Amino acid sequence: MADLVDSMLDLMRRLPPTHVEANVAALVGMCPDYADDLLGSVDQPLKVMVDRATGREYLACDYNRDGESYRSPWSNEYDPPLDDGTIPSPKIRKLEITANEAFDTYREMYYEGGVSSVFLWDLEDGGFAGVVLLKKSLNPSSPSEPSGSWDSIHVFETAERGRQAHYKLTSTIMLSMMHHPAKGKKGDEKVEATRDGDVTLSGSMTRQTEQDHSLQEQTSHITNIGRMIEDMEIKMRNLLQEVYFGKTRDVVFDLRSLDDLEKARRQRELQKELVGFIKR
Amino acid sequence: MDAEERIQAASKFLLQSPPGEINDVLNGDEAARVPGADSEEEDDRFWDPRSRTSFRFDHIALEASEPEPIEPEEEAEPFRIALEIAALTYLSAHFHGGVTSVFSTQGNPHRFTIQVVANKYNPSNFWSGRWRSEYIVNLQERKLEGKILLNVHYYEQGNVQLSTTHAVSIELPPTISSSNASASASKILAVIESEESKYQASLNEAYQDMGDKTFKGLRRALPMTRAKLDWDRVLGYKIGAELTANKGAFGSS
């Protein structure tokens, strides 16, 4: 039934990103047998949870979920508590702790706020995989303040080959921004008018890369993946800027022209006539 | 989920479909085993005031059939025609393709609806867009009430959508009256033209604002240091901090 899951994924690619949670829930309701396939393939906005042991915020997604519980990267505990929840091996957990500290620094440098979490898991062939999550939200206290959210989901897999390691990185960034123009009348108008409205730009983009890097020690994995994710986020931020602020705006101005098209048409006709006149 | 709930969920999907992609969304719905929506509805009839024809419309096949002539509302028709002429002029002045219709209101010869729809589909470049606006002209209340809705979908290796709403209520100048149909209709469309151009220009401000404040506020292009992170030092800092802490612990013993 790969076709059915593909159809559902195609549907999610077309429906408004702002309603992704409700739409995924509706699809899961329609086809409960494919819930796991769908939840594992559709990126949804990250949930912010609070670690009960440390009081620190962390991020929840499908990768740190076991049943109905989520594991905190700070205390390694599940919430709600699980006795037999999946946890990484001691070696990988040690790396996970270091990775969380490193990406916490990264988060502060680039996001100046927000929340980060890194989750690692052992792979059957002896390697490991992981996900780096970053989230920042701007929650306005008044409608005129900026409102928006940024969710980064970087999933990676690594395989060691002697002093080298091969990395495969899949990065998804979900970005949404809301603009609420100042309400009401404008002073310079001859007619009495009231206005209200908003502008929403939202969506997600996904990119992949595969790279080899040298490996001196276990923590080299973190510096390698750190650099790969940093480069990817810089590249994707440029791409998002281009698509959100460039492409969507171009389409609007392709639909409607600010200049009078009739006038331009007449001008062209006139020019043609003149050229013909001169040639004669 | 029972059949009724499935139809409801599927209808919601269809209503959310991006411009020109309703068939793709419908295919997704069918794959999710939603019963066919082609129920035996009798009143799927619409009318086109310009050709004075009513017809049946099949929403799945997107085909019109069974045309029948209709008589326009006698009292409202002259002003409706005047609005239609002015609306068509406005459409060709500002829209690259697009459709406009003007409808009178049954039982109220002073109330008219003007609609504008412009679509652009470019599946080979993964985008589509739609501009919709609708205005209710009420000559008795001297009011023009309208809304503009914009949707843009960009879906090359992603799914990015622009969605806007804009509602406006404008008082019509006293010179506008049904006895002065042609000039009044031109004036009404001039008000609409000015409103839509102003709105389009204000979108530039919205883009500017979101780029300068929201986008930059969410994630910096580079850290304050204007350089990428030194990852060896990022790990080193932490190790350094631990060493210091340990030293402190040893020192006090």
Q: What are A127-136's pLDDT values in tens digits?
A: 899 999 999 9
Architecture of domain B77-217: Alpha-Beta Complex (3.90)
SS3 content of chain B, % helix, strand, coil (to 5): 40, 30, 25
Which pLDDT band holds residue A93 (cuts at 50, 70, 90)?
very high
Q: Which of B60, B16, B69, B20 is nearest to B41 (CA)?
A: B60
Is the pLDDT at A82 greater than 90? The verdict is yes
Q: Does B26 touch chain A (CB under 8 A)?
A: no
- Specify whether the CB–CB gap between A164 and A213 falls below 8 A: yes
Q: What is the pLDDT of residues A23-46, one digit of tens each?
A: 888 888 888 888 888 887 788 899
**Domains of chain B, residue spans:** 3-69, 77-217
A and B: number of Cβ contacts within 8 A: 275
Q: Which of A23, A206, A247 sits opposite B154 (nearest CB)?
A: A247
pLDDT of residue B26: 77
Q: CB contact, 8 Å: A8 with chain B?
A: yes
Spans of chain B below 70 pLDDT: 28-43, 237-253
Helix/strand/coil (H/E/C) assignment for every residue in chain A: CHHHHHHHHHHHHHCCHHHHHHHHHHHHHHCHHHHHHHHHHCCCCCEEEECCCCCCEEEECHHHEECCEEECCCCCCEECCCCCCCCCCHHHHHHHHHHHHHHHHHHHHHHCCCEEEEEEEECCCCCEEEEEEEEEEECCCCCCCCEEEEEEEEEEEEEEECCEEEEEEEEEEEEEEEECCCCCCCCCCCCCEEEEEEEEEEEEEEEEEEEEEECCCCCHHHHHHHHHHHHHHHHHHHHHHHHHHHHHHHHHHHHECCCCHHHHHHHHHHHHHHHHHHHC
Cα distance between residue A9 and residue A4, in whole Å:
9
pLDDT given for residue B252 in this prediction:
39
pLDDT of A173-230, one tens digit each? 999 999 987 665 555 566 688 899 999 999 999 999 999 999 999 999 999 999 999 9
Is the Cβ pair B160, A234 closer than 8 Å?
Answer: no
* CA nearest to B197, candidates B121, B133, B247: B133
Q: Which residue from A8, A102, A191 is facing B191, i.e. has the nearest CB?
A: A191
Query: What residues contact A131, with CB distance under 8 A and at least 6 apart?
Result: A61, A63, A118, A119, A153, A154, A155, A156
Token pair of A62 as six digits: 């499908």
Query: Of A101, A146, A197, which has the smallest distance from its Cβ to B164's Cβ?
Result: A197
Q: B158 by DSSP, 3-state: which?
A: strand
From the list B65, B56, B229, B47, the residue with the least C-alpha distance to A226 is: B229
Sheet holding A65-66, edge to edge: A65-66, A69-71, A78-79
Which of A181, A199, A255 minimises the CB distance to B129?
Answer: A255
A199 touches B: beta carbon within 8 Å: yes
pLDDT at residue number B35: 43
Per-residue pLDDT, B60: 81
Cα dist from A85 to A65, A69, A78, A80, B17, whole Å: 9, 8, 7, 10, 40
A-chain residues within 8 Å CB-CB of B117? none
Which is nearest to B50 in space by CA: B113, B95, B111, B101? Answer: B101
Chain B from 41 to 60: CB within 8 A of any A CB: none
Is A226 part of the contact surface with chain B (CB cutoff 8 Å)?
yes
CATH superfamily for B3-69 is: F-actin capping protein, alpha subunit (3.30.1140.60)
pLDDT value, residue B40? 38
CB–CB contact B162 A262 (8 Å) = no
Helices A20-30 and B3-15, interaxial angle, to 10°?
Answer: 150
Torsion angle in degrees (nearest 10) through CA of A264, A268, A273, A276: 170
| Alpha-carbon distance A19 to nearest alpha carbon in chain B (angstroms) | 9
Which of A114-118, A147-151, A216-220, A226-230 has the lowest average pLDDT?
A216-220
Once rounded to an integer, what is the mean pLDDT over residues A83-106? 95
Other C-beta atoms within 10 Å of A10: how many?
15
Amino acid at B146: G
Measure the CA–CA gap between B116 and B27, rounded to whole angstroms. 28
Q: What is the ipTM of this complex?
A: 0.89
Residues 196-235 of B with CB under 8 A from A: 196-197, 200-207, 209-211, 213-215, 217-225, 228-229, 231-232, 234-235
Q: Is A27 on the interface with B (CB under 8 A)?
A: yes
In CATH, the number for domain A43-263 is: 3.90.1150.210
Q: Is the peptide bond before B69 cis (omega within 30 degrees of 0)?
A: no
Strand partners, B69: B53
Among partner residues A14, A27, A237, which is closest to B221 by beta-carbon distance? Answer: A237
Q: What is the pLDDT of residue B249?
A: 44
Coil, strand, or helix at residue B175? coil
Distance CA A42, CA A30 (A): 16
A195–B167: do the CB atoms touch at under 8 Å? yes
Minimal Cα–Cα distance from A7 to chain B, Å? Answer: 5
Can you give the pLDDT at residue A17?
A: 83
